[in-house]
Structure 1
């Protein structure tokens, strides 16, 4: 065991140094930051432009008094709908030829009028390219009804004072707590899934270069194959953690300079310090589990083309695993959620969701031990298949061997 660990350390240090102290690794670190930064910038700009383009404008041909009633009614209803939900009302002075005025307003390209309302509050008529049962018609109807009711109350002298509802705020309720923790659970799952998909896929092609230039034969003659696989797997995990540390630092700096409530998640059940620690532990477990599997699959391929062919089913399998783990959000004690926590390759994702929803800790100790066992078993299986299929004659059958022989 001591020789295995020493050999794995030597292999891992060699791979880690060769990867981190290279020019391509700097591009690997900076590339995602640039992509995310540009995406956020253009996303915000396009969102503002889309909000302006999609904002509904209705022209109201009415006198100043009637338009004022409708605008006041809209102002009273707007807080219940949101600032941009109700259509914007724009007044137009009544002209002599009403039909021609409606056609001019609807045909104006700079005003972007969606519909034109005539007849005032008494006999409203809506003309435009809107659905008879759509939201615009219903909202205009609601605004007119509110204006009618306020007019009737004004004439009767029975306008009630503004209604004030007594509000009693509590810190939390069972329903709001469960819903907020479910948001954190899905956020933790998505973070682990995206990082693993982005970083673990490199292990599929980790051995291709060394197999092609016969370096793997030299390594296998000097150290056990198990040590080669263990060293490469741990080295790539360390490389991924370096990348995550750089990206996390950039994210913290960005949120410090430009704070945003959109990224604020509710507090998990185990508390933030322990939840962050569990995120790191389960990320390492998820990476080692899938990485050992990918290393074993990729070691059977003999060319980059075969690795590219294998990447599609591997990605689909990861998505299916993520879907299975998503059942652990909400009813985390259901049968499907427990199966997701027991199945080794979905266990890290399911358990991080459980950490966000329930404060019990003994299940995490059990799950981490279970995942460590499966990392060892998967690594032993991958090394055994490589030793038997590839190292047997220097270039044994590959993962696509049956397909190639049929062709």
Structure 2
């Protein structure tokens, strides 16, 4: 056992140092941070521009005195509906022919007017490409009702309504809802990190197979040790990347945001939940990475690896969807099934940690996941010996058959 661990450590240290102490790894670390920063900046800019382009404009043909209470009513309603809900109101002084003026406003391409409101305040009429009872119709009706009620209250003043707030502790339903948010957010984070980092294991053995180094390694150490060493080294490399990205995210949130936090507290508490999250990320990475390493070890070229990338990504997405069904119902038949299936178990169990205080299921799940990691690594190493190195039973029989024929 000591020789196996020593051999796996040597293989893992070789891959770790060769990857981390390279210029490409620095680009690998900076790349996602730069992409996220650019996406946030351009996302905010495009959102503002899209909001301005999509938000409808309603022209109000009325005098400034008649338009003032309507504008004030809209200003009072805006905080309740949000900035995207109510349309912009633009005032135009009435012309001699109001109907012709409305037609001109609706036909002006530079003004982006979707409707024209006339006849305020006595006989309001809304003209435009909309139907009775539509969204803009209901919004304008609400604004006009607010303006009329405010004017009526101004003539007969009454005291403002005061609502007394009686705060109570959180209910069980609200706590469950908040913890489900934490569960889904953590599942999504683990899924994205695994998709980003585990796919590299598909091509991990291509270099050794191409320059025949794998034959030297196979003669010196067991194939299982090679697989374990490469799998653990890639996990360590991914942890280095996650640490750098987490440090960058925390620094950015402290400098430009409101600081860390925002998610509801999980059931097991933040310290234990973070620890379980890291452990389940490692388990998820090792499970899927072992499968990817075994599949990639059978590939003979970069083209084959690229062909395998799409079905591998689809399989990861299906696993994530299956695990997401356990959120909100961890003790249901579906939740237990998601925790029992090895590949969805880490995602289902990290969601369980956010929702339930029990700890003993996590010990059982981690032992179950470790068993499957070992089984998958052993299977991948066996297939690699038989199909690639031709050193299994089938390979020996094949050599004897060729010698007999010669």
Residue number in structure 2 paired with 1:143 = 143
Other structure's SS at 1:186 match:
helix
RMSD of aligned Cα (Å): 2.0
Aligned-pair CA distance for 1:171: 4.1
Matched, 1:18 2:18: yes
Residue number in structure 2 paired with 1:368 = 366
Q: Superposed, which structure 2 residues align to 1:313-328 within 5 Å?
A: 313-328=311-326
Aligned counterparts of 1:48 and 1:248: Cα–Cα separation in 2: 28
Aligned counterparts of 2:259 and 2:82: Cα–Cα separation in 1: 18
CA contact (8 A) 1:150 1:159 kept: no
Find 1:386's aligned residue among 381, 384, 387: 384
Other structure's SS at 1:170 match:
coil
Residue number in structure 2 paired with 1:402 = none
Residue number in structure 2 paired with 1:292 = 290
Q: TM-score w.r.t. structure 2 length? A: 0.92
Residue number in structure 1 paired with 2:237 = 239
Residue number in structure 2 paired with 1:165 = 163
Task: Single out whichever of 269-278 and 193-202 deviates more from structure 2.
Answer: 269-278
CA contact (8 A) 1:59 1:89 kept: yes
Residue number in structure 2 paired with 1:401 = none
Other structure's SS at 1:16 match:
helix
Residue number in structure 1 paired with 2:399 = none
CA contact (8 A) 1:295 1:382 kept: yes
Aligned-pair CA distance for 1:161: 2.4
Aligned counterparts of 2:368 and 2:120: Cα–Cα separation in 1: 72
Matched, 1:77 2:50: no
CA contact (8 A) 1:106 1:115 kept: yes
Q: Superposed, which structure 2 residues align to 1:190-269 within 5 Å?
A: 190-260=188-258, 264-269=262-267
Other structure's SS at 2:130 match:
coil
Residue number in structure 2 paired with 1:400 = none
Residue number in structure 1 paired with 2:278 = 280
Aligned-pair CA distance for 1:159: 4.5
Other structure's SS at 2:95 match:
coil
Structure 1 unaligned blocks of 5 or more: 398-407
Structure 2 unaligned blocks of 5 or more: 396-406
Task: Single out whichever of 346-355 and 69-78 deviates more from structure 2.
Answer: 69-78
Other structure's SS at 2:113 match:
coil
Aligned-pair CA distance for 1:269: 1.4
Matched, 1:311 2:309: yes
Q: TM-score w.r.t. structure 1 length? A: 0.92
CA contact (8 A) 1:121 1:147 kept: no
Residue number in structure 1 paired with 2:398 = none
Aligned counterparts of 1:327 and 1:388: Cα–Cα separation in 2: 39
- Structure 1 residue runs of 4 or more that deviate by more than 6 Å after TM superposition: none
Aligned counterparts of 2:153 and 2:231: Cα–Cα separation in 1: 76
After superposition, the C-alpha distances for 1:68-93 in whole angstroms (9 at most, x for unaligned) are 23223323333331234211222211
CA contact (8 A) 2:254 2:260 kept: no
Aligned counterparts of 2:121 and 2:260: Cα–Cα separation in 1: 41
Aligned residue-pair number: 394
Other structure's SS at 1:114 match:
strand
Aligned-pair CA distance for 1:100: 2.3
Q: 1:229 to 1:3 in 2, by over 3 A?
A: same
After superposition, the C-alpha distances for 1:273-324 in whole angstroms (9 at most, x for unaligned) are 1111111111100000000111111111111111111111111111110000
Task: Single out whichever of 170-179 and 234-243 deviates more from structure 2.
Answer: 170-179
Residue number in structure 2 paired with 1:176 = 174
Residue number in structure 1 paired with 2:68 = 68
